[in-house]
Structure 1
């Protein structure tokens, strides 16, 4: 088994001006790269999305620009949200997280100080997501698969398996090991990470998404993950068709 390689599958749906790009995604890296772009331009009401604008250094001359979110109906466009944003020196990207509470069609765009539109993207907000989607599912297509959170992997075996992960002792680092009785049979795996906002809530806080390249004949694979804070987490594993293959849970304590 080889250490799996993260691959970049970054897509965008936007109207581009020069080299500017506007991503609607689940998150972003410290370098301003989008994480899990929303390719179908659709999310569920009550979900948050990251609005990520990237551009070349000094391409936008104004140090103040405006973010607008307009809700579009059959006969008009009505402003739903606006936000003034200052561009820091040598900055090449801006990110803003927004929670869409209401269903409908939206246009998301930035303007310069003179209200000239720089770039835009569209988004459809659909019926609220069912709370059951974040619970353990019997639809896992690999019922015999197992997920271990551990200190290390040696010769296809997890060592130092965690029941809970002690944040202070590990700096939030752990290996996530997925093993199945039969070969996976696909080449792209997506892992999505969710967290409980409160002890009595569902796993309603989106944390991270990663895509990995694997071999169809592999029966196991692993990756290293760093938790940024304590809490109860859910890891959902999907194949390249976005079909859920396994769900696992872990708690990170102080």
Structure 2
């Protein structure tokens, strides 16, 4: 009887541990996480990571719900949520998320029946390099020129360790949920603390006509020679993204096609 109880207990533990949630830098084609960590370091403007659910058996569901809670005022409170479309026969699911704020997070998935599948705690902090930069003076950078053709302005699916992954010129709303990463390498320090980004929609019938649809402002470090940020598009069309410094000096621009 005691042996039977132990076998049942071990089976229960195995089933309980079958589902695993990982925060990782990348993943393999068969859903194995790469670069797993429960203590990640981010850039001051944010860093993106993958959140991967390994179920080990078919999910038997068409939808999963990712929830990210953040710890403050003595308890975890709702911070972000996201719906994932999956196939019932899938044994794993993955999505990306850009962490911008240091802190302690609780990450978990719910199925369509609102049953919690698995939970993971995550600690987020700024990179040590950035922490030291905050104490350095930046008066000796001199004048910086943004002219020339050495800059790399890239649209991509994700940026990992300051490297753009899966560059693209056409963004699919269906496949990406409208999210794209903008990566700019200046090949020399920007020498500024803020940038201004303008988003223009090009007229479908006249490419010479543009409509300003959005403007964003970002803080950067003068020492940086590259930067990236994410943006969400809601509608199809052709868009031009322009980057300026705060004195409206042009830095760089690129065009992106957004399709269904």
Tell me which of the two structures has the higher relative contact order, counting C-alpha pairs closer than 8 angstroms and 6 or more residues apart: 1
- Give the helix-richer structure, 1 or 2: 2
TM above 0.5, yes or no, is: no
TM-score by length of 1: 0.45
Larger radius of gyration: 2
TM-score by length of 2: 0.44
